[in-house]
């Protein structure tokens, strides 16, 4: 087996003395869908925030694609190919779907200010290429009908897709999805799970997602990591995790 | 000794800055509104008082009437400006108070004229010699008033029902509303109290420089004070005010001659920005963690 | 589903659907010097265009990048004083080059005073631009070198000439203003309608998400300060030399900064067309009020102070009213009216 794409090594995080994560280690293999599950407050979102540089770990290391993150920032994470969606959609709500998606490409831009201001040099070609790429992703996620609509007015489920499109447009190697199907009805859940699986299959994107719906998680992911109070209590295939007594006690057993 | 005198007179004007800044902090704490109109409230209050005074009303009559006027103003502002803008972005509210400051300034001068009014509070402005330090009796009086005002506010906010509701609103607006605290009422009260603070500040400043349009410009002195002290802290406003007053005066005396002229218009701002770069939320401001 | 599709179009002012309006505007701008009197050119149209241009400058910063500035006039004064000194001290420099260099000097000052935006947010940031406002007013008043040691501390229009054409006539100044404005508007439009403009709007809407999406937030903020100040700087030079003729540092005081801010609020943030509506409002309202006073025969009774107080109240009230009723400004009001008019025949779809 090749080296894992994401290697979380003994990561701890505390806010003002309260431990959110304790000595957490696990690895995500290239090309898999890995689900992080656990009760609310288990530290799942905090972990994603560390991986893409929004928070800084108190101790421990994150190794991504063979190299460690020394001073992680959201920008550096994006540059190295980590895409991300948020639990409470973090879209640019006064911009159109297309513009939102296009922002995901901005770091690939090569034109300088003068080329842009005077519309000369590499700018026209880059502009065309960006639009084409954005339209591809918008089409793939089946939101083409809303391409020019302001995202602020779109229903929640569609906003989730727009956010996913924005994260995907720059072809990340690792995609972090924070509760991508929370708050949806059964039909929407099936739809979006299918799209997530499709993204993973077609683009080969490694996906780490946080989800509460155990049914969806077990069907969708290749690998499940269970957190409880900032510690890892289970790690394995969905089938293994289902059998793990500690997991059942900590999470599956309790009424959620 | 000269240095000490410069420092003391700086500290005393700093106390005045602090007084204006406190009015700001009250409103910011209760409603998150950055009230640019605080300076014009100072002008309006002082003008109202001085005109009543000139028409023969003694202090004990003119003062409560002016307070009443400020309360009516606060209720009007809440009804006409704040209520329709509830839940809008802080930027929008800030710009609304900018518009408000234009309205209040225009109104003040349209009603009371734009002449300079002399204001005599009956306190001598005579320098006293205290162990070599030159301090005016008026300055001592002004500081005493400021100290009393701050003490009264502190008691009001920590002991009374209204004060506790106000702190609840400042802490968590939604939670406060859900336990039955009525936001419009709180806002009216807070704007009234800060109208009172504006009146006190206006009288103290006005007695020194005359009551005139330039009073409204004290808002520009209060800005750096707030930034240094933090927008939501009354102790911060006081310490910030003293700091700005003292350094500004020292800079004017010691740096001014080197750069041909008074630096007091901008020095406080540069100080404030320097402060911000070191402590982004001010001396006493609360740091917030961005949640995503 | 149709309900969703037919929602308001994106908050992105692309001028293309307004091509007709644009063409009409161009025709008017070309015809005005022929039919308009010098008074119209000098006292109405030139100040409107120049203030509108300054409004565009601030709008790039505030409306698009979401950063507040209370010091636009400071950057205007830098543009004016730089142009004056460049032309005075480097006689070989052609006017357009002097204007561009002056704009760049204003831009670098803008970047400098924008540096705190890398660490702080919101109102705290207004301290820095207010600091710029007071600092430059002080600088240009206290250091007489900037006004060439003139007794009155003023700077006067240098020779306004391009390639030997003297522009020192009402029509000449007007043409300089129109051409400069159009050119800068084109640049502004290009920037807004590019990834830079998108990055600005993204930062305005949610800066944490912008960083996660891979936008270099800090660099874009500084760029916004720079570009905004470039526009303000050139507008300042035009204001001093094509409108006022003679100016001192106090022509660019805090009130002027507020005027520019009001233009953005009145016209609508993130709308370039709106800035000129806002500017027209700011320039024309005082004149209209004067005319009204005279028409009512009140000019003997009402003194100048009263009129200027009325003006303050009117401006303040309109700002508040617009923020309450029409937060996107006059431009959106007009846009809605136009849409209603043009959409009337096809009404009936749900």
- Give the CATH number for residue A35: 3.40.50.300
Q: Judge whether B286 lies within some domain.
A: no
Mean predicted confidence (pLDDT) in C40-49? 88
Q: Judge whether A16 lies within some domain.
A: yes
Mean predicted confidence (pLDDT) in C10-31? 65
Nearest residue of chain C to residue B292 (CA atoms)? C208
In this complex, do C311 and B276 lie within 8 Å of one another by their Cβ atoms? no
User: Which of B125-139, C166-180, C276-290 has the weakest average pLDDT?
Assistant: B125-139
Nearest to B223 among C116, C130, C135 (CB): C130
Chain A closest-CA separation from residue C215 CA (Å): 6
In this complex, do C119 and B277 lie within 8 Å of one another by their Cβ atoms? yes
Nearest residue of chain A to residue C194 (CA atoms)? A116
**Chain C residues within an 8 Å CB radius of B260:** 142-143
Mean predicted confidence (pLDDT) in B150-162? 84
Give the number of B-C residue pairs with CB atoms closer than 8 Å.
125
Structure tokens at B277: 């770069």
The residue among B92, B286, B287, B292 with the most chain A CBs within 10 A of its CB, best to mutate, is B292
**Chain B residues within an 8 Å CB radius of C329:** none
Phi, psi of A21 (to 5 degrees): -135, 140
pLDDT grade for B282, boundaries at 50, 70 and 90: low
Per-domain residue ranges for chain C? 36-148+160-343
Query: ipTM for the complex?
Result: 0.90
Phi, psi of A67 (to 5 degrees): -125, 140
Chain A closest-CA separation from residue B174 CA (Å): 19
Question: Contact partners of C by the rule of 3+ C-beta pairs under 8 A?
Answer: A, B
Q: Judge whether A197 lies within some domain.
A: no
For residue C249, the 8-state DSSP code is G
Chain B closest-CA separation from residue C192 CA (Å): 21
The pTM for the full model equals 0.89
Task: Answer yes or no: are the C-beta atoms of C266 and C281 closer than 8 Å.
Answer: yes
- Which stretches of chain B sit within 8 Å of chain A by CB? 289-290, 292
Closest to C329 in 3D by CA, of C257, C276, C258, C288: C276
* Topology, domain C36-148+160-343: ABC transporter involved in vitamin B12 uptake, BtuC (1.10.3470)
Find the helix or strand (DSSP H, E) in which C283 lies.
helix C272-295
The residue among C66, C73, C138 with the most chain B CBs within 10 A of its CB, best to mutate, is C138
Return the higher-pLDDT residue of C127 and C344. C127
Chain A closest-CA separation from residue B275 CA (Å): 24
Nearest residue of chain A to residue B292 (CA atoms)? A86
In this complex, do A90 and C9 lie within 8 Å of one another by their Cβ atoms? no
Find the helix or strand (DSSP H, E) in which A170 lies.
none
Chain B closest-CA separation from residue A211 CA (Å): 16
How many other C-beta atoms are found inside a 10 Å radius of the C-beta of residue B260?
12
**Chain B residues within an 8 Å CB radius of A45:** 292
The residue among A50, A92, A137 with the most chain C CBs within 10 A of its CB, best to mutate, is A92
Chain B closest-CA separation from residue A50 CA (Å): 12
Nearest to A145 among C5, C205, C209 (CB): C5
**Which percentage of chain A shows pLDDT scores above 70?**
97
Q: Judge whether A49 lies within some domain.
A: yes
pLDDT grade for A1, boundaries at 50, 70 and 90: low
For residues A178 and A100, what is the distance between their CA atoms, to the nearest angstrom?
A: 18
Instruction: Give me the count of residues in chain A.
Output: 256
Chain A closest-CA separation from residue C228 CA (Å): 14
**Chain C residues within an 8 Å CB radius of A105:** 195
For residues A188 and B41, what is the distance between their CA atoms, to the nearest angstrom?
A: 55
Mean predicted confidence (pLDDT) in B77-84? 92
Long-range contacts of B78-86 (CB under 8 A, 24+ apart): B78/B184, B78/B187, B78/B188, B78/B191, B80/C320, B81/C320, B81/C324, B82/B31, B82/B33, B82/B184, B82/B187, B83/B184, B84/C324, B85/C323, B85/C324, B86/B183
Kindly report, residue by residue over B163-197, the tens digit of the pLDDT.
888 878 877 777 787 777 888 888 899 999 999 99
In this complex, do B98 and C306 lie within 8 Å of one another by their Cβ atoms? no
In this complex, do B292 and A54 lie within 8 Å of one another by their Cβ atoms? yes
Instruction: Give me the count of residues in chain C.
Output: 350
B272-290 burial, b for 16+ CB within 10 Å, e for fewer? bbebbeebebbbbbeeeee
Q: Is the pLDDT of residue A10 over 70?
A: yes
The domain in which residue B168 lies consists of 2-216
Structure tokens at B275: 């402060």
In this complex, do A150 and C8 lie within 8 Å of one another by their Cβ atoms? yes
Look at residue C346 in the predicted model and tell me its pLDDT: 43
Structure tokens at B165: 């509701």
Mean predicted confidence (pLDDT) in A161-172? 94
For residues C68 and B63, what is the distance between their CA atoms, to the nearest angstrom?
A: 38
Nearest residue of chain B to residue A85 (CA atoms)? B292
State how many domains chain B has. Answer: 1
Interchain contact C219–A (C-beta under 8 A) = no
Report CA-CA distances (Å) from C257 to B2, B143, C58, C72.
39, 35, 10, 5
Nearest residue of chain A to residue B287 (CA atoms)? A16
For residues A80 and A52, what is the distance between their CA atoms, to the nearest angstrom?
A: 10
HSE of B37 in the Cβ direction (CA atoms, 13 Å)? 32
Nearest to B273 among C122, C131, C309 (CB): C131
Q: Judge whether A218 lies within some domain.
A: yes
Nearest residue of chain B to residue A87 (CA atoms)? B292
Q: Is the pLDDT of residue B27 over 70?
A: yes
For residue A128, the 8-state DSSP code is H
pLDDT grade for C13, boundaries at 50, 70 and 90: very low
Interchain contact C15–A (C-beta under 8 A) = no
Nearest to A78 among C194, C195, C213 (CB): C213
Return the higher-pLDDT residue of C10 and A250. A250
For residues C217 and C211, what is the distance between their CA atoms, to the nearest angstrom?
A: 6
pLDDT grade for C347, boundaries at 50, 70 and 90: very low
Nearest residue of chain B to residue C255 (CA atoms)? B102
Find the helix or strand (DSSP H, E) in which A181 lies.
none
Closest to C54 in 3D by CA, of C313, C252, C315: C252
Q: Judge whether A165 lies within some domain.
A: no
In this complex, do C315 and B95 lie within 8 Å of one another by their Cβ atoms? no
In this complex, do B231 and C123 lie within 8 Å of one another by their Cβ atoms? yes
For residues C136 and C146, what is the distance between their CA atoms, to the nearest angstrom?
A: 11
Chain B closest-CA separation from residue C325 CA (Å): 9
Q: Directed axis angle between helix C46-59 and helix C72-89, to 10°?
A: 120
**Mean of pLDDT over chain A:** 89
**Chain C residues within an 8 Å CB radius of B269:** 127-128, 130-131, 134-135
Q: Judge whether B92 lies within some domain.
A: yes
Our measurement of the distance from residue C197's CA atom to the centroid of its chain's CA atoms, rounded to an integer in Å, reads 17
Kindly report, residue by residue over A17-41, the tens digit of the pLDDT.
788 899 999 999 999 999 998 888 7
Look at residue B80 in the predicted model and tell me its pLDDT: 94
Nearest to A103 among C8, C9, C202 (CB): C202
Look at residue B291 in the predicted model and tell me its pLDDT: 45
For residues C115 and C204, what is the distance between their CA atoms, to the nearest angstrom?
A: 17
For residue C122, the 8-state DSSP code is G
For residues C76 and C255, what is the distance between their CA atoms, to the nearest angstrom?
A: 13
Kindly report, residue by residue over A207-256, the tens digit of the pLDDT.
999 988 888 888 899 999 998 888 898 899 998 888 888 777 766 555 44
Closest to B97 in 3D by CA, of B174, B187, B200: B187
Nearest residue of chain C to residue A151 (CA atoms)? C10
In this complex, do A15 and B289 lie within 8 Å of one another by their Cβ atoms? yes
Phi, psi of B253 (to 5 degrees): -75, -40
**Chain A residues within an 8 Å CB radius of B289:** 15
Q: Is the pLDDT of residue C123 over 90?
A: no
Q: Judge whether A223 lies within some domain.
A: yes
Chain A closest-CA separation from residue C12 CA (Å): 7
The 3-state DSSP class for residue C143 equals: coil
Q: Is the pLDDT of residue A126 over 90?
A: yes
The domain in which residue A22 lies consists of 1-72+207-256
**Which percentage of chain B shows pLDDT scores above 90?**
25
Structure tokens at C274: 């709106």
Q: Is the pLDDT of residue B151 over 60?
A: yes
Look at residue C350 in the predicted model and tell me its pLDDT: 36
Sign of CA dihedral C2, C4, C8, C13: negative
Q: Which of residues 140-159 of C touch B (CB under 8 A)?
A: 142-143
For residue B142, the 8-state DSSP code is H
Look at residue C4 in the predicted model and tell me its pLDDT: 37
Return the higher-pLDDT residue of C238 and B130. C238
**Chain A residues within an 8 Å CB radius of C12:** 95-96, 99
**Chain A residues within an 8 Å CB radius of B292:** 45, 49, 54, 86-88, 90
Look at residue A112 in the predicted model and tell me its pLDDT: 92
Chain C closest-CA separation from residue A225 CA (Å): 24
Closest to C210 in 3D by CA, of A173, A120, A100: A100
Question: Contact partners of A by the rule of 3+ C-beta pairs under 8 A?
Answer: B, C
**Chain A residues within an 8 Å CB radius of B286:** none
């Amino acid at each position: 087996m090749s080296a894992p794409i994401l290697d979380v090594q003994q990561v701890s995080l505390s806010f003002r003395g309260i431990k959110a994560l304790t000595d957490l280690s696990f690895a995500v293999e290239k090309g898999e869908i890995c689900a992080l599950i656990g009760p609310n407050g288990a530290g799942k979102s905090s972990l994603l925030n560390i991986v893409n540089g929004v928070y800084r770990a108190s101790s421990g290391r994150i190794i991504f694609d063979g190299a460690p993150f020394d001073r992680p920032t959201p920008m550096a994470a994006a540059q190295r190919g980590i895409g991300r969606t948020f639990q409470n959609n973090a879209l640019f709500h006064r911009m159109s779907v297309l513009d939102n998606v296009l922002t995901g490409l901005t770091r690939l831009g090569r034109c300088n200010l003068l080329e842009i201001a005077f519309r000369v040099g590499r700018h026209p070609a880059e502009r065309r290429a960006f639009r084409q790429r954005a339209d591809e992703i918008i089409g793939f996620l089946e939101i083409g009908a809303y391409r020019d609509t302001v995202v602020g007015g779109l229903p929640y489920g569609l906003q989730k897709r727009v956010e996913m499109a924005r994260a995907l447009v720059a072809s990340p190697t690792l995609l972090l999805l924070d509760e991508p199907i929370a708050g949806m009805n059964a039909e929407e859940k099936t739809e979006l799970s299918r799209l997530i699986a499709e993204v993973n299959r077609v683009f080969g994107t490694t996906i780490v997602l946080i989800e509460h719906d155990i049914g969806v998680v077990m069907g969708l992911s290749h690998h499940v990591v269970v957190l409880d109070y900032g510690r890892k209590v289970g790690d394995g295939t969905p089938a293994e995790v289902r059998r793990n007594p500690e997991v059942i006690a900590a999470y599956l057993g309790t009424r959620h | 000794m000269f240095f000490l005198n410069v420092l003391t007179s700086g500290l005393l004007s700093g106390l005045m800055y602090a007084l204006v800044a406190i009015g700001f902090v009250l409103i910011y704490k209760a409603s998150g509104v950055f009230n640019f109109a605080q300076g014009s409230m100072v002008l309006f209050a002082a003008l109202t008082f001085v005109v009543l005074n000139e028409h023969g009303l003694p202090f004990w009559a003119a003062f409560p009437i002016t307070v009443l006027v400020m309360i009516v103003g606060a209720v009007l502002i809440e009804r006409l400006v704040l209520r329709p803008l509830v839940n809008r972005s802080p930027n929008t509210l800030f710009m609304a108070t900018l518009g408000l400051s234009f309205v209040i300034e225009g109104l003040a001068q349209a009603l009371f004229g734009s002449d300079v009014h002399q204001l005599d509070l009956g306190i001598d402005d005579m320098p006293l010699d205290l162990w070599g330090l030159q301090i005016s009796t008026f300055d001592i009086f002004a500081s005493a008033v400021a100290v009393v005002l701050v003490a009264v506010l502190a008691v009001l906010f920590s002991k009374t029902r209204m004060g506790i509701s106000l702190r609840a609103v400042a802490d968590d607006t939604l939670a406060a509303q859900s336990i039955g605290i009525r936001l419009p009422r709180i806002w009216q009260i807070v704007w009234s109290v800060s109208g009172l603070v504006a009146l006190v500040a206006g009288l103290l400043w006005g007695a020194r420089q005359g009551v005139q349009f330039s009073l409204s410009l004290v808002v520009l002195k209060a800005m750096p004070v707030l930034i240094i002290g933090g927008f939501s802290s009354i102790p911060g406003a006081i310490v910030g005010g003293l700091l700005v007053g003292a350094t500004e005066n020292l800079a004017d005396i010691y740096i001014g001659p080197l750069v041909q002229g008074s630096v007091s218009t901008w020095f406080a701002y540069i100080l404030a920005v320097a402060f911000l770069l070191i402590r982004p939320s001010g001396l006493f401001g609360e740091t917030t963690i961005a949640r995503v | 589903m149709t309900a969703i599709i037919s929602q308001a179009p994106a908050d992105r002012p692309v001028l293309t659907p307004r091509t007709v309006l644009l063409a009409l505007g161009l025709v008017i701008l070309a015809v005005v010097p022929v039919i308009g009197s010098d008074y119209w050119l000098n006292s109405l149209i030139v100040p409107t265009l120049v203030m509108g241009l300054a409004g565009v400058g601030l709008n790039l910063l505030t409306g698009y990048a979401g950063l507040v500035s209370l010091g636009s006039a400071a950057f205007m004064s830098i543009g004016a004083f730089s142009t004056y000194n460049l032309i005075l001290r480097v006689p070989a420099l052609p006017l357009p080059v002097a204007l561009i260099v002056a704009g760049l000097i204003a831009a670098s000052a803008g970047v400098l005073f924008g540096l705190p935006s890398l660490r702080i947010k919101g109102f705290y940031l207004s301290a820095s631009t207010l600091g710029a406002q007071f600092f430059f007013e002080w600088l240009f008043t206290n250091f007489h070198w900037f006004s060439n040691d003139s007794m009155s501390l003023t700077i006067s229009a240098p020779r306004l000439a391009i390639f030997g054409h003297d522009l020192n006539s009402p029509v000449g100044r007007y043409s300089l203003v129109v051409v400069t404005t159009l050119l800068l508007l084109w640049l502004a439009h290009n920037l807004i309608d590019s990834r830079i403009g998108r990055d600005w709007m993204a930062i305005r809407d949610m800066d944490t998400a912008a960083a996660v999406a891979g936008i270099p937030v800090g660099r874009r903020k500084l760029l916004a300060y720079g570009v905004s100040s470039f526009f303000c700087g050139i507008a300042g030079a035009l204001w001093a030399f094509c409108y006022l003729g003679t100016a001192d540092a106090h022509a660019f005081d805090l009130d002027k900064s507020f005027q520019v801010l009001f233009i953005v609020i009145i016209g609508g943030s993130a709308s370039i067309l709106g800035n000129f509506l806002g500017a027209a409002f700011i320039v024309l309202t005082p004149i209209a009020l004067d005319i009204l006073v005279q028409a009512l025969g009140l000019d003997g009774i009402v003194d100048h102070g009263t009129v200027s107080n009325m003006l303050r109240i009117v401006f303040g009230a309109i700002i508040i009213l617009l923020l309450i009723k029409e937060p996107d400004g006059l431009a959106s009001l007009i846009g809605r009216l136009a849409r209603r008019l043009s959409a009337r025949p096809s009404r009936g779809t749900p």
